[in-house]
Structure 1
Amino acid sequence: MSFSIEGKVALVTGANRGIGKAIVESLIAHGAKKVYLAVRNPETTLELSQRYGDKVLALQFDASDEQSFTALAEQAQDVELVVNNAGVLEPAAPLSDNAVKALEYEMTVNVYGLIHIAQKFAPILQEKSEAAFVQLNSVASIKNFTPFTTYSASKAAAYSITQGLKDEFAEKGIQVLSVHPGPIKTDMAAQAGFDEADPASSVSEGIVKALASGDFHLFPDSMAKMFESEYQSYATNIITADLSGE
């Protein structure tokens, strides 16, 4: 399967800054007809709205509120591409006092949020002649980083769910892309203490190319490509291989 951005309607969660904002910019640059900006505070999308006019439409969305997913899907029935970019990071090592609370928060947004948005948009996407679903995971989904153990755990769970979605969505004609950035120059990276990082455009432009190529994995930036070189054999022979025996 492959998916072209040209002329398509897309929805991006967490679209007001960082990687999400860069994704919006790349989608429009590559010919997207309209992009829904799913954000907690629509006022934070003012810059994008002023720049792109009626090519973007901000929708209020809270990834920690289950009811918000239903409302979002009801307002975006024409969507052909969903990019689930919204995510949270709460630094916590395994023995940190806040480890359990951090994991609960990260699981709510990073994992349960993924399931909710996939379930709500599956019926919409499967009705389209071309459709795709993009999940922003992380290199932390395949390697635990101790100061961010709970985040790594939530992203590992999200990556596992994404693999399941790949199989189920394939039957519905929906392409799935799992994106695994390393540190990217965003507020989240700064919070995690990464001063040197690749630009968000490395992710957004990588998504466009990976969708066109029909890839399942995308390792877009410098650190991620180091992971890819070591992980590729396992991913090809285990993750994306047909092990059903049929």
Structure 2
Amino acid sequence: MGALDGKIAVVTGGTSGIGEGVAKAFVLEGAKVVITGRREEEGRALEKQIGVRFVRADVAIEADVRAMVDKTVEWFGRVDCLVNNAGIPSPMTSITEIDVATIDQILAVNVRGVVLGIKHAAPVMISQRSGSVINIGSVAGIRGGISAHIYSASKGAVQALTRSAAAELGEKGIRVNCISPGAIVTGIFGKNAGLEGSKADRATGVVKERFATIQPIPRAGLPDDIAQAAVFLASDGSGFVNGQDIVVDGGMTSVTRGWSAIVAGRAEMARLIKEAATTL
């Protein structure tokens, strides 16, 4: 018997990385899962591989998010859990060099996408008098000097939105929580280095090696580390947990590093990723 038997879950950004890991863990725990993303080929492949349903959606577009929820209800009649995972990185540039287009793009996906997900899933959950919303934040929203400025700002907004939405929706039987990952091995770092999505997902060896040394636990974080926290928050075992940010970072936020060290480290990792990508 799984922790999520009979539950219906939607995972945005579910075609790779943390979202894919969450979807796999949810299926193993007995949930019916709908994943969304912009990469249809990867989504259709996962339908066959792990038994999920796929809906092509861009979370920055309200019509896509509405359709994502409507399709889930059409298929399964309810939504028990929404994992707002879809997100994009921003380049590690000086605050003096950030362009407005980058600001708008990051906030549209990382913040507006989360707001829209809650907006359209909440009415279904309110009618059920139950539900769990899990937003994926980042340690970059907690500590300075970990990631790019606009990305950090977007994740700080997600953490604040979690608390605010939890205050309203908790009264209606819906829990809203956040998971803030630390250094997790995903393709997002390859994308930041300029690689195309599917190629970035395959160029994770360098990331895993680099991330093994930046927190007290001497290994890189993996998508399943976040997925197991998500299973807890989606399950009835977390029925009294609301408005919280669970940090899953191997102790990363207990260590202090400066902005310059992080920028230099990211630049070196991007160089190594590009070098490794030539062999893919």
Q: Common fold, TM-score beyond 0.5?
A: yes
C-alpha displacement at 1:91, in angstroms?
1.2
Aligned residue in 2 for 1:31: 30
C-alpha displacement at 1:92, in angstroms?
4.0
After superposition, the CA RMSD in angstroms is 2.1
C-alpha displacement at 1:87, in angstroms?
0.5
Instruction: Quote the Cα distance in structure 1 between the aligned partners of 2:61 and 2:54.
Output: 17
- Out of 59, 63, 70, the residue aligned to residue 67 of structure 1 is 63
Aligned residue in 1 for 2:40: 42
| Cα distance per residue 1:184-240 (max 9 Å; x no partner) | 00011445685323111000012212442343221123145738xxxxxxxxxxxxx
Residue 231 (structure 2) pairs with residue 203 (structure 1): no
Relative to structure 1, is the Cα distance of residues 159 and 147 closer, same or farther in structure 2, using a 3 angstrom cutoff?
closer
Q: Secondary structure at the match of 2:128?
A: coil
Instruction: Quote the Cα distance in structure 1 between the aligned partners of 2:147 and 2:252.
Output: 19
Q: Secondary structure at the match of 2:97?
A: coil
- Which segment is superposed worse, 34-43 or 94-103? 94-103
C-alpha displacement at 1:96, in angstroms?
4.7
Relative to structure 1, is the Cα distance of residues 79 and 224 closer, same or farther in structure 2, using a 3 angstrom cutoff?
farther
CA contact (8 A) 1:92 1:99 kept: no
Equivalences for residues 75-86 of structure 1 within 5 A: 75-77=71-73, 78-86=78-86
Instruction: Quote the Cα distance in structure 1 between the aligned partners of 2:47 and 2:246.
Output: 28
User: Which amino acid is the alignment partner of residue 60 of structure 1?
Assistant: R
User: Which amino acid is the alignment partner of residue 159 of structure 2?
Assistant: Y
CA contact (8 A) 2:11 2:83 kept: yes
Residue 58 (structure 2) pairs with residue 58 (structure 1): no
Instruction: Quote the Cα distance in structure 1 between the aligned partners of 2:98 and 2:231.
Output: 37
User: Which amino acid is the alignment partner of residue 86 of structure 1?
Assistant: A
Q: Secondary structure at the match of 2:145?
A: coil
Q: Secondary structure at the match of 1:73?
A: helix
Aligned residue in 2 for 1:12: 11
Instruction: Quote the Cα distance in structure 2 between the aligned partners of 1:88 and 1:23.
Output: 17
CA contact (8 A) 1:210 1:218 kept: no
Gaps of 5+ in 1: 228-246
User: Percent same amino acid among aligned pairs?
Assistant: 27
With structure 2 as the length reference, what TM-score do the two structures score? 0.73
Relative to structure 1, is the Cα distance of residues 75 and 147 closer, same or farther in structure 2, using a 3 angstrom cutoff?
closer
| Cα distance per residue 1:8-38 (max 9 Å; x no partner) | 0100000000000000011011111x10011
Instruction: Quote the Cα distance in structure 2 between the aligned partners of 1:203 and 1:126.
Output: 26
Aligned residues: 221
User: Which amino acid is the alignment partner of residue 133 of structure 1?
Assistant: V
Aligned residue in 2 for 1:233: none
The higher radius of gyration belongs to 2
Aligned residue in 1 for 2:148: 148
Aligned residue in 2 for 1:172: 172
User: Which amino acid is the alignment partner of residue 38 of structure 2?
Assistant: R
User: Which amino acid is the alignment partner of residue 169 of structure 1?
Assistant: L
CA contact (8 A) 1:93 1:150 kept: no
C-alpha displacement at 1:94, in angstroms?
4.2
CA contact (8 A) 1:183 1:189 kept: no
Instruction: Quote the Cα distance in structure 2 between the aligned partners of 1:40 and 1:177.
Output: 25
Aligned residue in 2 for 1:220: 248
User: Which amino acid is the alignment partner of residue 222 of structure 1?
Assistant: G
- Which segment is superposed worse, 117-126 or 141-150? 141-150
Instruction: Quote the Cα distance in structure 2 between the aligned partners of 1:8 and 1:123.
Output: 17
User: Which amino acid is the alignment partner of residue 33 of structure 2?
Assistant: V
Q: Secondary structure at the match of 2:175?
A: strand
Relative to structure 1, is the Cα distance of residues 20 and 189 closer, same or farther in structure 2, using a 3 angstrom cutoff?
same
Instruction: Quote the Cα distance in structure 2 between the aligned partners of 1:75 and 1:146.
Output: 37
CA contact (8 A) 1:180 1:224 kept: no
C-alpha displacement at 1:126, in angstroms?
1.4
